[in-house]
Structure formats: C-alpha cells, structure tokens
Amino acid sequence: MQDGKYVILCIDDDPDVLMSLQIILEASGYVVKKAPDARAGLQAFKDLTPDAVIIDLIMEEVDAGLDLVKELRALNSKVPLYMLSSTGDYLYTTLDANALGLAGVFQKPIKPQVLLKLLETKLKGRKPRP
C-alpha cells in the first residue's frame, strides 16, 4: 500500500506490455512498479512487498516466469500472484495454476475489464500492508 493505494508489481520483458499495464492500472487507482526481468522482479518484490504481482510466463528464458513464481511463493505465500500468458503457448497448456499457487492467469493481449475485476475482487477488504 502506498498513499492508500494498492501496489502492483508487473514483471515482463516486453516494455510495451509493461507500459499498457501501467496505464490501465494507474488510471484505475493502483500504484504500478515495473521490472523488466525475473532478477529485477525478485529484487523489487523483496524491496517493495507489493499487494499483487503480475508475471509474464515466457520471458528471456523459456520458463523464467515459472521459476520466479516458485521463488516468490517460497518467500511469501500470501501475496496474490498472477500470470500473464498467451493463448496457445505450449507452456500454457500444461500450466497448473492451483499447483503453482497462482491467484489467476491472464491471457495476452490484456483485457482491461477482466484484469481490473479480478484484482478488485482479490484485493477488496484486504488490509493495507504496513
């Protein structure tokens, strides 16, 4: 929580997607922190302790997104993690959201209404972080 707003950490190696996420989320009253790769994402997670994290499934390395999810889950089991994935990605077909402890999976291209509704439902009533 920052200035009474929820902090969303977005990790994606595509700067254009990051920018779109930022515009949509900031216009809807969230604070957005961006990380361009898994390593920066991990560091930002430790520094910021965000209220939710959106991670791209396929980054510079094929399964970098999955590894990051496992690491973040190990660090903190409470923060909701969302995965960004492309329909038809071969990893997506074998992705088991529950087993990974994901709060949800978003399809690329981003559909603002879906994204915002999911975040709102998840974060509503959640106590602000110190």
Q: Interface residues with another protein (CB under 8 A)? A: 14, 16-17, 19-21, 23-24, 27-28, 58, 86-90, 93, 108-112
d(CA 36, CA 95): 22
Our CB check for another protein shows the closer of 109 and 128 to be 109
Task: Return the sign of the alpha-carbon dihedral for residues 121, 119, 41, 11.
Answer: positive
- The nearest distance, CB 80 to another protein, in angstroms, is 21
Number of residues written out for the chain? 130
The three-state secondary structure class of 29 is: coil
Our CB check for another protein shows the closer of 3 and 16 to be 16
- The nearest distance, CB 25 to another protein, in angstroms, is 9
Our CB check for another protein shows the closer of 20 and 49 to be 20
Enumerate the H helices of the chain as residue ranges. 15-27, 38-48, 64-75, 97-100, 112-123
- The nearest distance, CB 118 to another protein, in angstroms, is 15
